[in-house]
Structure 1
Amino acid sequence: MTRLGLRARVTAAFAVGALLLAASMALFSYDLTRRSLLEERERTAVRVAYFDAAVVRSGLDTDEPDVVEVLRSLDTGSGRRPLLQINESFHARAAEVVGDDPVPESLRRMVRGGEPAVQRVRLNGQPTLVVGIPISATISYYELTSLREVEDTFQVVALTLTAVAIMVAGSGAALGWYATRHSVRPLTAVADAAERIAAGDVTTRLDPTTDPDLTRLSSSFNHMVDQLARRIERDRRFAADVSHELRSPLQTLAAAASVLTRRREHQDERTATAAGLVVDEVARFQRLVDDLIELARTEQPAQRQSVDVAALARESCRARDLPENLVHLAPGTPARWQVERRRVEQILRNLLDNAVRYGGGPVAVRLSAAGDGVGVVEVDDAGPGVPPADREVIFDRFVRGRAAHARAGTDGTGLGLALVAEHAAAHGGRARAENRPGGGASFRVELPGSLS
């Protein structure tokens, strides 16, 4: 199950909080409105019923009262229905005598006892308010007032409050999204800065005045980057200094080794073998020192100029006795790129050497464009490919892939692909390894801005 992000969680919390608050207020408002309307309607109904009861009492105070005419004389409109109970019989405006179902038994008992009473009931599915007023020991007056209009008002109020609650919840969600968007922005800036630093730009810093509440975070982050930059610079200088210091004794060893090589025919077999090993190891040591010096120089930005990369790729193939037809320039891709010649030359040299040593030899060197001025250099080989677990780490320093370990006799330094990645980063690009559909590996280097 995917966990929601911080912004989504805060937005949801704002929405739920606003919904709960709005729902609570809506329920309170609905209950208050309902009770107020019912109480007001009940007071009005009781007051009118008392008035109508007085009219009925006056109309019945004759020798031969006409009950129907008395009830018809009442101005009750369409919302009220008068009933008159004489002894045990109920009389309405019509001439017939009605049953006692409209009036609850509990209400009739109270009115017969001489006490006025009010009760809300449902008659034929409609809400009704029944008001009972005693007129004499044998006569009771009842007035049935319809509450349908009040019920309709309640429904409108309920719908309105529900809509308001939904709107408030939506507003809460919008407010939460807006608040998190601005509150998370400093964290986004930190994440962006961390990504740029991870890509090699140790000059990235956070503006400490962006948010006063995050001043400590900004200063601590900048201090961490300063320490990191100093350590990287110290390590670079150490590697450069050590490499330069090693060059002089290595040159002496190389000269002595060449003397041993030239006099190999005057040596016995064991001495000649040992001399050969010394020569090979001195040569490997020299390549390692050269790579370390080159690695120390990769921290500098690329010095771009117009370079015929296609010709440079063919020249690199000729230098390794590889056929020039390995180089393929994609249709529509210019041959001249805006790059640093030395860096691109080493990219091609290291990728070709890597293919020869570990990939069964190169099968293609492809130059193409990836859009937005990005030049792409790809070297395909015929080797076993690169396992997914090794595709990132093989570009680290002093790391050799499984294919290199399988060929223990090779003389690689573990810095070739690291230099490729560093030179690509100096151009603002990157290097990555993939497996070709037909077998083998494909090493791809992207150089942004080289075709602009």
Structure 2
Amino acid sequence: MRRAGLRTRVTAGFTAGALALSTAIALVSYQVTRSSLLAERERTAVRAAYLDATVVQAGLAADRPDILEILRSLDTGGNRRAMLHLDGEWYARNLDAGITDSIPAALQQLAQSGQPVVQRVRAGGQPALVVGVPLAPGTTFYEVDSLVELQNTLRVLAIVLTLVALSTAVAAASLGRHATGYVLRPLRRVTDAAQEITDGNLTARLDPTDEPDLARLTTSFNGMVDQLSARMQRDRRFAADVSHELRSPLQTLEAAASVLARRRDRLDQRTAVAVDLVNAEVARFQALVNDLIELARSDQPAERSPVDMVDLARQVCRTHQVSPEVVVAEEGAARVWEVDRRRVTQLLSNLVENALRHGGGPCAVRVGSEPDGHLLTVEDEGPGIRAEDREVIFDRFVRGRAAHVRGAGDGTGLGLALVAQHAAAHGGRVDVTDRPGGGARFQIHLPASPQ
């Protein structure tokens, strides 16, 4: 499973932290507010109940009191209901719709024993507060105060706090994403510069003035690139100098070997075989020197011009005595590409030669396209290339296991390295896969426009 990116993880951390914190604050705020409102409502209900109980007690002290009239004289509003329990009988100002049943028996016993009582209950399925005030032995005044409005208020408060917590989490996610993007911006510049260097642009550098806090990283990076560039330049100069210095004695050897080859029929068999070996090694040595010189020139930019790739591919095949019929122009693909003719000719020539040496010759050379550029494919019917060797086969002087899977390994070890270098000079790349039905498939991916 692929691990989430740093920006995603930091954003998720900001969101989770903000959500946890805002949720905790919301819960604490809700509980504190709820407790405060309930306590204030209880104090108000108890105070009102005692005032009403005083009025009822004064009315009961009169001769022949009218209990219903006394209860009706109370100003209880629409939320409170007043009841009187007298000598085992219940009296209420309105029709009792089960209100008396909502008063717990234990609470009634405490009130009858002379203790004032307060308890939250459910009356008619709704929350309510019962206040019991003893007036005299056998006489208790009750008020049932509805808490529906308070419940609705608390519900609205809960919704508001939940929305605030979610909004805080969303804001934290936005802040985290923005902050992470700002922090990672210098790293993206480093990444872009490193990618340019990988693509062959050794002039890529970081500007120390962009991020003063990362001045040390910028200086170290630029210093590393300077050293790398200088070392690569020295290596190229060394390869070029050595190659040029070898050319003179090599030409002398080639001339001498040519003289010996012309007189081969005058030599004995053993000497003739030695002459053949000398000529073969001199030719191979000449190819190696040419490849080294070409590698030394690979850092130069591609000199682009319009090239008919189908005609070029057929010319390369004829040069290597391969039937031009193997060249296929795929439908919808552009024939004319803006490329360096010399580089692409050598690139294609090396792939065709590689197929001849190790794959029995190319069975198809395709000039095609892909969504973001051009595609040049060379296929053969040889033994193919093992998956573990595909990463190193384009390195220089690879003639060990990766080369031997393709054949005798009698090349210079630079042919495929040159293919990769020429593709990179165009801003492209090369890869190799299995060909359906057996063999290898080399693919050159080139951008449609110069990079």
Cα RMSD for the two superposed structures: 2.8
- 1:43-85 deviation per Cα after TM superposition (whole angstroms, max 9, x unaligned): 2212222221221122112122222221122122331121223
Inter-partner Cα distance in structure 1 for 2:223 and 2:450: 37
What's the offset of the Cα at 1:139?
A: 3.3
3-state SS of 2:393 partner:
helix
Alignment of 1:68-107 (within 5 A): 68-93=68-93, 102-104=102-104, 107=107
User: Which 5+ residue runs of structure 1 have no aligned equivalent?
Assistant: none
Residue identity matched to 2:17: G
What's the offset of the Cα at 1:332?
A: 5.5
Q: 1:401 to 1:192 in 2, by over 3 A?
A: farther
TM-score, scaled relative to structure 2: 0.90
Q: 1:104 to 1:237 in 2, by over 3 A?
A: same
Alignment of 1:35-434 (within 5 A): 35-93=35-93, 102-104=102-104, 107-108=107-108, 111=111, 116-330=116-330, 335-370=335-370, 374-400=373-399, 404-406=403-405, 409=408, 411-434=410-433
Contact 1:385 1:435 in 2 (8 A): yes
Larger CA deviation: 234-243 vs 428-437: 428-437
What's the offset of the Cα at 1:385?
A: 2.4
Aligned identity (percent) is 57
Q: 1:267 to 1:95 in 2, by over 3 A?
A: closer
What's the offset of the Cα at 1:188?
A: 2.5
Q: 1:105 to 1:346 in 2, by over 3 A?
A: same
Contact 2:427 2:446 in 1 (8 A): yes
Q: 1:94 to 1:168 in 2, by over 3 A?
A: closer
Q: 1:94 to 1:423 in 2, by over 3 A?
A: closer
TM-score, scaled relative to structure 1: 0.90
Residue identity matched to 2:254: A
Inter-partner Cα distance in structure 2 for 1:60 and 1:385: 112
Contact 2:303 2:339 in 1 (8 A): yes
Q: 1:208 to 1:116 in 2, by over 3 A?
A: same
Inter-partner Cα distance in structure 2 for 1:365 and 1:57: 112
Inter-partner Cα distance in structure 2 for 1:136 and 1:199: 100
Inter-partner Cα distance in structure 1 for 2:301 and 2:334: 24
What's the offset of the Cα at 1:194?
A: 2.3
What's the offset of the Cα at 1:410?
A: 5.3
- 1:202-260 deviation per Cα after TM superposition (whole angstroms, max 9, x unaligned): 22222323333322222222222222111111111111111111112212222222222
Inter-partner Cα distance in structure 2 for 1:95 and 1:269: 135
Residue identity matched to 1:262: R
User: Which 5+ residue runs of structure 2 have no aligned equivalent?
Assistant: none
3-state SS of 1:143 partner:
strand
Q: 1:43 to 1:436 in 2, by over 3 A?
A: same
What's the offset of the Cα at 1:403?
A: 7.5
Inter-partner Cα distance in structure 2 for 1:95 and 1:215: 85
Q: 1:27 to 1:375 in 2, by over 3 A?
A: closer
Contact 1:375 1:450 in 2 (8 A): no
Q: 1:311 to 1:115 in 2, by over 3 A?
A: closer
What's the offset of the Cα at 1:411?
A: 2.8
What's the offset of the Cα at 1:307?
A: 3.5
3-state SS of 1:394 partner:
coil
Larger CA deviation: 18-27 vs 324-333: 324-333
Count of aligned pairs: 450
* Partner in structure 2 of residue 442 of structure 1: 441
- 1:80-99 deviation per Cα after TM superposition (whole angstroms, max 9, x unaligned): 12122335544333699x99
Contact 2:384 2:406 in 1 (8 A): no
Contact 2:362 2:379 in 1 (8 A): yes
1:2 paired with 2:2, answer yes
Inter-partner Cα distance in structure 1 for 2:450 and 2:206: 32
- 1:405-443 deviation per Cα after TM superposition (whole angstroms, max 9, x unaligned): 157655310111111111121122222223322432232
What's the offset of the Cα at 1:149?
A: 1.6
What's the offset of the Cα at 1:316?
A: 2.3
* Partner in structure 2 of residue 20 of structure 1: 20
Larger CA deviation: 386-395 vs 273-282: 386-395
Larger CA deviation: 402-411 vs 170-179: 402-411
Larger CA deviation: 377-386 vs 9-18: 377-386
What's the offset of the Cα at 1:166?
A: 1.8
3-state SS of 2:3 partner:
coil
Contact 2:360 2:382 in 1 (8 A): yes
Inter-partner Cα distance in structure 2 for 1:167 and 1:95: 48
Contact 2:102 2:122 in 1 (8 A): no
Contact 1:366 1:379 in 2 (8 A): yes
3-state SS of 1:412 partner:
coil
Larger CA deviation: 85-94 vs 248-257: 85-94
Residue identity matched to 2:367: L
Contact 2:383 2:405 in 1 (8 A): no
Larger CA deviation: 150-159 vs 392-401: 392-401
Inter-partner Cα distance in structure 2 for 1:409 and 1:91: 115
